[in-house]
Amino acid sequence: MTALVALEAVCMRFVTKSNPEYPVFGGINLSISAGERIALIGRNGSGKSTLLRVMARIFAPSAGNVHWAPGVSVSMLSLGLGFRPDLTGRDNALLSCLLLGLSRKEAKASVERIAAFCEIGAFFDEPVRTYSVGMRARLGFGSALMNRSQVILIDETLSVGDTFFREKAREALEKELTEERAMVLVTHGEQQVKRLCRRAVLLEGGTMMADGDPGEVLAQYAALSASQA
Amino acid sequence: MKTRESVLTFSQIITLVDTLARFHLKGEAQQYLLGYFWWILEPLLYVAVFYIVFEKLLQNRQPDFLYFLMVGKLTFIWFSKSINQAANSLDGSKGLMAQLNLRKEIPPLAVIQQGFYRQFVVFGFLLIFLVFNGYAVNAAWWWLIPLILVQALLTIGVGLLAALLVCVRLDFRLLIQLATVFLLFMSGVFWDLNAITDERLRHWLMVLNPLATLIDAYRQVLMLGASPNVGKLGWVLAETLLLLFLALFAYHHLQFWVARKVVSR
């Protein structure tokens, strides 16, 4: 199967005050094909978010190559992309859609779908600063679902809101994840990995320590965490 | 499924820049009791302060000083405010840049577009004010179109470069603020550049500071009903296009660098 995104010996270094060549990770080889649902796990600071940003063309790798299949779109599923608290939910939803690359016409049509998904009633036309945390999460997730990219990168976005909303978000995401699309999910939630993903990758010590069945990789991660606790 | 490149098309960029600008203005207006009225009120208060200091306290001898000051100050504020806001725009878009492969020109352009909208209203007010105070509409006023266009391009070029400089080091934010204050004194906002008797000095002042030439040209057109010096205006246009080229070249090559610099800050 042709890879939508392929990383070859990708390496990332950051400039810090104490180290001008601080290594985040190196030698990452990863291929993502249509229909795949990959969990990216690892401890804080292991470079998971940075790796997503390399895949999303936000960062260029310090070394190595990233190949994107022709015409493929890759982007992060972000809650509250460009949201301004002074604007209404409707305005913010429209802005978010435009940032995701929808045309004005498509964005306007999507706003009504977002309103239906959020279920926040008349608050949709009120400034976001008046929203509760849960209402913001609903609006943010509803807007993020308008992301039409083929490869969706999720950085712990699903851990927001109450239990009811998390379940609704998971179902909505399942519906969106057709076999033509792929997902990479960064999470610390074991249940999310087991329910949503078919493959898991463990980042540890700046390298890709494991890649395979989610259950096995999670066990390896748990053993690693226990040994270093 | 319809696939999309993560890079926006030119028309999508224009739509996004315009929507970001309009929504920002809307959000900003909602924070204040006087809302959109501040678009006019703020620059007029600046004019009032300068008028009191120079006309009433320092007994300025410049004829029609109020109109002279209004033309200079209202056009200068457009430039200075846009530059200072654009300078902070990339750094202020950290959250967006961490999540999205966004063309890095978009945040500064959106801020500059906000300035265009505000200035459109300010220019309308200025022209009406001048007409009500005896300055007749005449054919020279057509020159306002190229003058505004050149100033808009100059603002874009300088604004884009200012935003990049703040990415390099945050210290540039303070230096840019200082530079706009320096420009206020060097652009003939409250004094007449033509009063400089040393022709060589006047020439170089206008060559090195395109804003001084523009402000002088606005006064020629609006207060004297005369055409501006086309040669000088052509020089300003050349400088502006050079700045724009430099800015666009830099952005073309520094898209990833800007993201890493801003996100990891």
Q: Where are the domains of chain B?
A: 10-263
Distance from CA of A24 to the nearest CA of B (A): 12
Q: Kindly report the CATH number that applies to the domain delimited by A3-75+183-227.
A: 3.40.50.300
Residue range B56-73: mean pLDDT, rounded = 91
Chain B residue numbers touching A72 (CB-CB < 8 A) = 3
Q: What pLDDT band is residue B3 in, cutting at 50, 70 and 90? A: very low
- pLDDT reported for residue B157: 98
- pLDDT reported for residue A1: 64
The yes-or-no verdict on residue A160 having pLDDT over 80 is no
- pLDDT reported for residue B1: 34
Chain A residue numbers touching B22 (CB-CB < 8 A) = none
- pLDDT reported for residue A119: 86
- pLDDT tens per residue across span B148-201: 999 999 999 999 999 999 999 999 999 999 999 999 999 999 988 888 899 999
Classify residue B42 by burial, with Cβ atoms within 10 Å: 0-12, 13-18, 19+.
Answer: middle
Interchain proximity B6–A56, CB inside 8 Å:
yes
Chain A residue numbers touching B99 (CB-CB < 8 A) = 58, 76, 78, 81
Distance CA B33, CA B29 (A): 8
Long-range contact list for B123-132, CB < 8 A, 24+ apart? B123/B74, B123/B148, B125/B40, B126/B70, B126/B71, B126/B74, B126/B222, B127/B222, B129/B70, B130/B67, B130/B222, B130/B223
Interchain proximity B16–A82, CB inside 8 Å:
no
The residue with greater pLDDT, A36 or A145, is A36
- pLDDT tens per residue across span A51-62: 999 999 999 999
Nearest CB to B15 within list A57, A84, A104 = A104
Q: What pLDDT band is residue B130 in, cutting at 50, 70 and 90? A: very high
Chain B residue numbers touching A148 (CB-CB < 8 A) = 1-2, 4
User: Could you tell me which chain B residue has the CA closest to the CA of A52?
Assistant: B99
Which residues sit opposite A41 in a β-bridge? A202
Nearest residue to B24 via CA among B104, B97, B82, B103: B82
How do A37-42 and A22-33 pair as beta strands? Answer: unpaired
- pLDDT reported for residue B6: 47
Residue range A135-154: mean pLDDT, rounded = 88
Residue A50: both structure tokens together: 């940075």
The yes-or-no verdict on residue B55 having pLDDT over 50 is yes
For the ranges A74-88, B91-105, B230-244, the maximum mean pLDDT occurs at B230-244
B15 touches chain A (CB under 8 A): yes
User: Could you tell me which chain B residue has the CA closest to the CA of A56?
Assistant: B101
Nearest CB to A99 within list B28, B31, B100 = B100
CB B151 within 8 Å of CB B75 = yes
Q: Where are the domains of chain A?
A: 3-75+183-227, 78-146
- pLDDT tens per residue across span A66-87: 999 998 989 888 777 878 889 9
User: What one-character DSSP code corresponds to residue B194?
Assistant: G
For the ranges A116-120, A157-161, B248-252, the maximum mean pLDDT occurs at B248-252
- pLDDT reported for residue B7: 65
The yes-or-no verdict on residue B5 having pLDDT over 50 is no
Interchain proximity B15–A98, CB inside 8 Å:
yes
Rounded percentage of chain B residues whose pLDDT exceeds 70: 97
B205 touches chain A (CB under 8 A): no
The yes-or-no verdict on residue B90 having pLDDT over 80 is yes
Residue B253: both structure tokens together: 């090559």
- pLDDT tens per residue across span A91-131: 999 999 999 888 899 999 999 999 998 888 899 999 999 99
Distance from CA of A73 to the nearest CA of B (A): 5
- pLDDT tens per residue across span A191-211: 889 888 999 999 998 999 999
Distance CA B112, CA B18 (A): 10
The residue with greater pLDDT, B116 or A161, is B116
B8 touches chain A (CB under 8 A): yes
Distance CA A5, CA A52 (A): 11
The yes-or-no verdict on residue B4 having pLDDT over 60 is no
